Amino acid sequence: MLKNNSLIEGLIWGIFVPLVSYIVLTAAMQGLESLRDEISGQLFSEGFRRRTFAIVAIGINSIPMNIAFKRRQTDTMRGIVLPTFAYVAAWLYVFGNYIFA
């Protein structure tokens, strides 16, 4: 994990870590909801879950970024930061109306 100081490796980590995190968070919530049959209705609205899971998944990118920072792998950090900014911009575009309304 993060062995080379390269922009390409950082891009790969920066793109796939949030995607995998979002999938894991969504699967975990679906599993928890299937366990609670005695409560009627949803615990959170679908929009709230999508927004929250997406921003948490983007934030999880700070873990490989911190690892690269401690190893002084500046090119890898740049590669992680680029998709992170793209994900944040996409998040603001998709969910910005909920925040700025």
Give the residue extent of every domain in the chain: 7-99
Q: How far apart (Å, rounded) are the C-alpha atoms in residues 54 and 95?
A: 10
State the average pLDDT over residues 13-23: 94
Reported as a single tens digit per residue, the pLDDT across 45-92 is 667 788 889 999 999 999 999 999 999 999 999 999 999 999 999 999
Q: How far apart (Å, rounded) are the C-alpha atoms in residues 27 and 21?
A: 10
Question: DSSP class of residue 56?
Answer: H
pTM of structure? 0.81
- Contact between 91 and 99 under an 8 Å Cβ cutoff? The reply is no
How many Cβ atoms are within 10 Å of 97's Cβ, its own excluded? 9
Query: Residue 38 burial by CB count (10 A; 0-12/13-18/19+): exposed, middle or buried?
Result: exposed
- Where residue 97 falls among pLDDT bands split at 50, 70, 90? confident
